[in-house]
Amino acid sequence: MAAESSILIGQKPVMNYVLATVIQFNQGAKRVSLKARGRAISKAVDAAEIVRTRFLPGQVDISAVKIGSEKVGEPGKERVVSTIEIVLERK
């Protein structure tokens, strides 16, 4: 099991991503990154907060939050979307 793990937040219910994150920590991950784009950004924050406060309280910290922009779409139809990366780290 790698010490680092990354989960892409998409259109599934938030609890799917919460459980995926908890499983990664239970399998020995030291750090789990939640990555999201566009409207899924709110869901990434929700998932991180649910893990931190309800599933692994006192056991994980948010060690970094980075925001940025990315171009998506085919050439000629590109648009810019915002991105977020939230790093959860076992204490």
Rounded to the nearest 10°, the torsion over CA 15, 18, 24, 25 is: -140
Q: How far is the CB of 3 from a second copy (least distance, A)?
A: 23
Q: With binding defined as CB under 8 A, does residue 42 bind a second copy?
A: yes
Pick the stretch among 3-11, 16-24, 43-51, 71-79 that binds a second copy (CB under 8 A): 43-51
- Considering only the C-alpha atoms of the chain, give the largest distance between any 2 of them, rounded to a whole number of Å: 48
Pick the stretch among 4-12, 18-26, 63-71 that binds a second copy (CB under 8 A): 63-71
- Of the candidates 30, 37, 28, the residue with the CA atom closest to the CA atom of residue 8: 37
Q: Among 8, 15, 23, 67, which residue sits at the site for a second copy (rule: CB under 8 A)?
A: 67
Angle at which helices 40-50 and 14-26 cross, to 10°: 50
Q: With binding defined as CB under 8 A, does residue 59 bind a second copy?
A: no
